[in-house]
Structure formats: C-alpha cells, structure tokens
Structure 1
Amino acid sequence: MNIAYISNIDIPGPTAISEQVLNSLSALSTSSSHTFTLIVPRYAQKNLTPNDVNTYYGLDKTVDIKFFNYFSFLSSKTKKRIHAFLAPLYCMIKGYDLLYTRHQAILFFCLLIGKRTIFETYRIDINFSYRYYLWRKFCYSHKKLFGIVTHSKIALDAFVSAGLDKKKIFVAYNGCGEIMPATMDTRRDYRERLGILEHRKVLGYVGRIGTMKQTDVILHVASRFPELTVLIVGGATRKEDDLAFDDLVKKLKLNNVIRTGVVKPCEVHNYLCASDILIIPPSSVPMFKSGKTVLPLKTFLYLAASKPIIAPNLPDISEILKHQETAVLVDPDNFEDTITKLKELLNDTLLQSQLSEKCRETAKKFTWSARAEKIEDFINIQNHRLHT
C-alpha cells in the first residue's frame, strides 16, 4: 500500500514529536513492504531537502518527504490549520491507499473526506476532556477509522474506556537508535568539552524545560547535591519558561548546573555518554495535570545510553522501567524520597553497574526497527479484517 503520513511538525527541529516521527518513518521505510511518504508544511528553510533532514536526525534511511509550500507571510499557526485541510485533499487526489497522522485536526479532515486513516498518539486527555467531546463523537464511530496506535497501555485503556473496540487499538512503544554504552574515551572527551572534571558525578537530563515538565525539581535536586554536576540538555518552547529556569538557577545560587540549550537529535547520545545517572523529573504533573506527557521518549533514549535511571513511579513509566532492575523509581511529588534514593544510588557502585547492564539489555527490545515491524503487522492485520 502507498501510505501518506500527514503531519504539521516543523522539520528539522529538536522536538520529541519530530524526532519520533522521523525515526519511525525511517524504520518503516527500511523494513516495510508498504511505501511511506511524509507530507509536511515548509515553514522557513526554502531549500531544505530530505537529505538535510536525514543528516540532522542521523537517520538510517532517508525518509521520502513531500513539502507543502504556503505563503511566507502566513504565521506557522495559520499554515498548520491550512495544512490540516489541504493535505488530506491532496492525498485523496493522489490516490493514497491509507493515511496516517498524529494530529487531531488532520484526523478529522481525513475521515471527513472518507479516507481510511490510522491515528497515533501518546495522549490520554483527549479521551475524557470535554474539549474533545464532539471530535471523539465523530472520529471514534467513523467507519474509515482504520486503527489507533498508542504509545502505552495506559493510553490504550483510555481509548477503550471512551468506547473504542480494543481490536482497533495497538500499543507500539517508542524506540531508540544505537545501543552503545559510552566508552571511557568518549565520556572523557565530552566531559572535557563541557568543562566537567573527570572525578565529578554527573546527573543528566534530556528534554524540554518548563513548568509542565517540572524541570525546576531537578534544580532543587542540584541544590541538595553541590558535589554533583547537573547537565541539562534542551531548551524551552516558551520564553517565560526559559527566563523562569534561569531565574531559579540564580535564586538557588547554583554553580553546578550546565545547560547546553537545544542540540541536534543526532548529538543527544553524546551528552548522555557524559552522564553517570539520568533523571526523569520525579513529578506527576506532566502526566496527570497536563495529560500531554505520557511515557516520554527520553525513557527509551536513557535505556539506550545504558546508564542508571532515576524516575517517578507512575503507571506509564512503570510499564517500561522496573524498580531496582532498570531504574530507581521514587514516589512522585515526594522530594525527600528522591533525595534519599538518589543518595543511596550514588553510593552504590554495584547497583549502578547492574542497572546499566539491564538498561542495555532492555533497550534491545525497543529499537525503532522492532517498532516498525510491529506497526506493519498491525496494518496488515487490520487490512485483513476489513477485507474479510
């Protein structure tokens, strides 16, 4: 089948969604018997080519990309809205067999014009928020809804609770790329570049910073462990989050925090190599208050780095990370529990070694190629069901 993946992501860009989409499509393009084309708006870079995208993300195979050009004077928000309507029409005219998207508005228009569509999402809030009531009523009962791919079992359960047939839903956990523990040479090289002394322990974080990500908790951890170097790899999408983060660093008088800012996805692994322990903010806010962060992509990046992980013991995280096996899980929103368990982990080199090895073994189950094979199986099963 010829499958069009319609998205409104800004590529190349450092967001988790763009990294996830490009790595997924690269793996699908490599192993699938179906052909995939990514259809996205062109936002700024007029001469951007698929090869440029491949280099930026470090993809194994270049993704076939169709860029839609819109008037340059239009805002990004306006381009996204126009794209949600025009891209499905384009796919209908071109005769694509199946459409695929991660965006609610795009799914709506795909179904509205009668095209078979797969919807992929990590979100759970769309299944209970009144804001999405009419969208759910139209989309979930539509006969052209080919299937739903979720990123966690907790998301699958949310769709079932909303009334969807479980046979139409499939859990495809996210993946990771190269699985390779840092060599001492690599670790030393990146520490030298960052100005980190070899003898210091490094607590690393990769991802967006901001209130909804609860990255301020990491800064409070840094204030309790002045002997640690805390490495923050990423930036904020909102200027106010950037300013609030820097203000808190000054308020807490921290001199053990290094913030790299945004880096290319293909370079993230190198910064993970410079770390000794990796952290997911030990808070329930991203999952339960925003509902927009469920089983973050960094979980799999951390596993691939083969480093001990400290993370909140939440329903989504615990689907993948197991306490004292691949991570030290702490009580979410319990700061003192985080401090106590991090201190114990820092003092237990044997546990650090055991966690690292188990992370490496676990990561092998969650490669992008393994994920692509499962998604193709799901597509083939759904296609067979429709024809029988």
Structure 2
Amino acid sequence: MNMIYLSNERFPATLACTIQQMRMCEAFAKAGARVQLVRPVFYDMPSYSVPEICEFYDVAPCFEMKRLFSLLSLSKPAADGVRHVKIPLVGGLSLLISTWAFALTLLKRGILNRPLAVYSRNVISAFVFLKFKHGARRKDVKIVFEVHSLDQQQPKRFFHKILRESDALICITKALRDAIIKKFDVPKEKILVAEDGVSHNLVHQPVPSKEEARRTLGIKAQQLVLYTGQLFPGKGADVFVEAARSFDKETQFMLVGGQEQSVKQLQKRVAAQNISNVRLIGFVPPARVPLYQAAADLLVLPASANHAISAYTSPLKLFEYMAARRPIVASDLPVLREVLQDGLNALLFEERSASDLAQKIRLLLNDSGLQEKLAQRAWQRVQSFTWEERARRILAFIQNGTMI
C-alpha cells in the first residue's frame, strides 16, 4: 500500500503527538506500506536531516519525509525561547494553500490515479485531500482520519465533513468512537478503535534493574516515584507535587519531561512551597525516557478529568509505563479503565485527590508483592498494544474493512 501521512507538526519536537506520528510511520512501513511523511517548513527551526530526526525519536529511517513550504511559524507556538510575530489564521491558511498545492502536484504526477491511502490527524490537510478525492472521483484513494478529540478540532465545518465523508476513522478510545457515533451519526463499521501504544522492542527488551538504572542516571534516592510527560494543565503534575508533601526526603518524586517554560513555572511553585523531595528533570530525548522509568519504584499517571481531552485520551505514557515493568498508580478515569483494572494491573486513585494518590503510593511502596503482581500483569496486557500491532490492524481495516 502507498501511504501519504500528512502532519502539521514540528520535527523534532518535545510533544507526544510527534512521537506518536513518527512511531506510526515507522510501524506502517515495517508492516509493508510505502510511507511518505509530509510536514510543513518552519522558519524558526533548523533544517534537520531525516537521519537526525529518526535518531532523535529512536525510529528506523524506513520511510520518506517531505517538507512543504508554509508560514505556520507565524501563527503556531514557536520552540522554547523563540519570539515570533503571531498573525491570526495565517497558519491555517498557509496549511490549506500548501496542502492544496501538494495535492495538485500529486495529481499532475499521476500519483492520485493509483491506489493510495492519505492518512492524517490534521483537519485542514485531510479536508483538502477529501475534496480532491471527490473532485477526481478516485475510489481507490482512501482518506483515513485519526481522531484524538472532538471539541478541539478546527475548523469545525471541515471536521464535521471529514467525520461523515472520509473513508475510515481511527479512534484512540472506545469512548471517542461512541461519542462520534452518537453526535454525528457515523456508521460504526466505518470506525476502528486503535489505542495508542508502545514499541514492540521496548516491550520485549530486558529492563535494567532499579539499581542499575539509578547508577547510570546518578539518582541517589532511597525510593523513587516517577512521572514522565508534559506539564500542561490537565496532566496532573500539580496533584503529583501536592502528594509529595506527604512523604519525607527519602522518597523522591521526580518529573521527567515538559517544555522549558512549564518546567520553570512548576519549579517556582515547588520552591515557594519549600517541597524538598520533588525534582524536575525537564525534557529528555524519547530514547532515554525508558531508563528513567526503569529507575522508579512506581510510575504515576495523574490525569485530570477537568481537561478538554481527558474524556477521550489514550496517553502514550500509559503504555510506556506498562512496558517498563514497574507498578502504576493512575487516576480513576473511565477512559483509562478501558486499559487498566484497579487492583489487577494498576492501582487507581480518586481523580484530583492528592491525599488518595499519596495513600495509594504508600500502600504500593510498602508491599513488594503487590508491586510485582501489578507490574507483571500490566506488562502482559501491553503486549497487544504495540505500534506494530496497531499499524497492522489499521492497514487491514483500510484494505479490507467496510469503506464508505
């Protein structure tokens, strides 16, 4: 299968969405697809080579990458510390124009005249190719849209049209699928639920002992409670820090990840409250995150229900945690219960309750048998949530599923 994966993100970047897209392009290619990742040019970023980008994400350079001219750097958030002029709508208009020009080029080269899957998470990019497909009356060009949220998708008119007229929808959770069916009357047969995942290699490679990982990283904590990921509102970093206050300095609470500004803001809060057992590491390359996870006694996913995407999220860190073979404490959210079961492969705590989180952490730290049971069962469960398996399921759905 020939596949064009349309993105509007910066590569490389610290955001989880770029990790997910790179992993999926790699997995699609390994599953037999001929993949080209198409991304815009940003003036405020260096021109990284494909090998450099692949090395950053620790993915194999088994797919092509193409850059499109764009003015997105004028309207999308720039890299940390970079100042720029923000002009409303230029980003969307630029993406619309550049994607339209790219589609015209493909049409002239005859690429749209042969079987092709156009895959995207971006509304504008998918809409342009949907119009081209209809205009050219090409039934063998499949428009596949991966949905991660509902209310945040813009422009809404484009988004609603994509939901109804694309050939296939890939939803990251059952809750998101059910919401789309109910709100937009989309046929269930058109939707595949494919949760996010983790690398097959990460699931099956040997995990360093806690002691070995801590020596490598220079961590001297007696007990280590870890969070990895962004520090945006809704991620629950504030609850994680608040729970740390219930423990003495022998139990270190560490946060790995986050953009520079978010790390500085949280660091100020920690210092102002004189919380001595919290340490912020900041961003580390994706390939190094598993080493921090291996160093932990337990891993925390404190997602908040009051954030816009919480009802439908499929956090990458969840599957990374499960692959790390360390016990998990997570917020008790319906969407997380699609994967986790309290007392079986994780402990769930009352969402936004720092006291309940602290209680569950203390319970786990004092029960090595429970730690081992939860970690082992989570690892067994995650083996069906690899990027490779996800790619195979999506490709089979595109090729053999019911298409509209």
TM-score bucket (shorter structure): 0.7 to 0.9
Distance 1:309 1:74 in 2: 40
1:223 counterpart letter in structure 2: R
State the number of aligned residues.
Answer: 372
Distance 1:5 1:334 in 2: 40
Which residue of the other structure, out of 211, 217, 222, is the alignment partner of 1:188? 211
Distance 1:283 1:45 in 2: 32
Which residue of the other structure, out of 162, 176, 180, is the alignment partner of 1:159? 180
Q: Within 5 A, what are the aligned runs for 1:1-388? A: 1-32=1-32, 34-43=33-42, 44-70=44-70, 74=74, 76=76, 78=90, 81-94=93-106, 95-96=111-112, 97-114=116-133, 116-125=142-151, 133-142=156-165, 145-162=166-183, 163-177=185-199, 178-179=202-203, 180=205, 182-184=207-209, 187-192=210-215, 194-197=217-220, 200-226=222-248, 227-236=250-259, 239=261, 241-281=262-302, 283-286=304-307, 289-291=308-310, 294-382=313-401, 385=403
1:351 to partner: Cα distance: 0.3
1:75 to partner: Cα distance: 5.4
Q: Report if aligned partners of 1:101, 1:119 keep a CA contact under 8 Å in 2.
A: yes
Provide Cα deviations, 1:163-207, integer angstroms capped at 9, x if missing partner.
1111111111111121245322xx334423544226x11111111
Distance 2:47 2:313 in 1: 35
Please provide the CA RMSD for this pair. Answer: 2.5
Name structure 1 gaps, 5 residues minimum: none
Distance 1:92 1:304 in 2: 43
2:36 counterpart letter in structure 1: T
Distance 1:120 1:149 in 2: 4
Q: Report if aligned partners of 2:34, 2:63 keep a CA contact under 8 Å in 1.
A: no
1:262 to partner: Cα distance: 0.9
For residue 245 of structure 2, give the secondary structure of its aligned residue in structure 1: helix
With over 3 angstroms needed to count, the CA separation of the structure-2 counterparts of 1:346 and 1:119, relative to structure 1, is same
Provide Cα deviations, 1:267-310, integer angstroms capped at 9, x if missing partner.
11111111110001153223xx4558612111111111111000
2:220 counterpart letter in structure 1: L
1:108 counterpart letter in structure 2: F
Name structure 2 gaps, 5 residues minimum: 78-89, 135-141
For residue 230 of structure 1, give the secondary structure of its aligned residue in structure 2: strand
With over 3 angstroms needed to count, the CA separation of the structure-2 counterparts of 1:80 and 1:133, relative to structure 1, is closer
Using the TM superposition, name which of 63-72 and 340-349 deviates more. 63-72
With over 3 angstroms needed to count, the CA separation of the structure-2 counterparts of 1:253 and 1:110, relative to structure 1, is same
Q: Report if aligned partners of 1:121, 1:150 keep a CA contact under 8 Å in 2.
A: yes
Using the TM superposition, name which of 258-267 and 299-308 deviates more. 258-267
Distance 1:349 1:72 in 2: 50
2:255 counterpart letter in structure 1: I
Distance 2:95 2:127 in 1: 13
With over 3 angstroms needed to count, the CA separation of the structure-2 counterparts of 1:232 and 1:138, relative to structure 1, is same
Aligned match of 2:85: none
Provide Cα deviations, 1:215-235, integer angstroms capped at 9, x if missing partner.
111110111112311111111
Distance 1:24 1:321 in 2: 23
With over 3 angstroms needed to count, the CA separation of the structure-2 counterparts of 1:348 and 1:54, relative to structure 1, is same
Q: Report if aligned partners of 2:4, 2:117 keep a CA contact under 8 Å in 1.
A: yes
Q: Report if aligned partners of 1:8, 1:40 keep a CA contact under 8 Å in 2.
A: yes
1:16 to partner: Cα distance: 0.5
With over 3 angstroms needed to count, the CA separation of the structure-2 counterparts of 1:183 and 1:133, relative to structure 1, is closer
With over 3 angstroms needed to count, the CA separation of the structure-2 counterparts of 1:364 and 1:67, relative to structure 1, is same
With over 3 angstroms needed to count, the CA separation of the structure-2 counterparts of 1:72 and 1:285, relative to structure 1, is closer
With over 3 angstroms needed to count, the CA separation of the structure-2 counterparts of 1:203 and 1:374, relative to structure 1, is same
For residue 9 of structure 2, give the secondary structure of its aligned residue in structure 1: coil
Distance 1:232 1:206 in 2: 6
1:328 counterpart letter in structure 2: L
With over 3 angstroms needed to count, the CA separation of the structure-2 counterparts of 1:71 and 1:88, relative to structure 1, is closer
For residue 302 of structure 2, give the secondary structure of its aligned residue in structure 1: coil
- Give me the TM-score of the superposition, normalised by structure 1: 0.88
- Give me the TM-score of the superposition, normalised by structure 2: 0.84
Distance 1:309 1:195 in 2: 23
Distance 2:245 2:143 in 1: 49
Distance 1:85 1:167 in 2: 33
Q: Report if aligned partners of 1:203, 1:228 keep a CA contact under 8 Å in 2.
A: yes
Q: Report if aligned partners of 2:72, 2:92 keep a CA contact under 8 Å in 1.
A: no
Q: Give % identity.
A: 25
Distance 2:241 2:93 in 1: 37
Distance 2:195 2:160 in 1: 26
Distance 1:355 1:88 in 2: 50
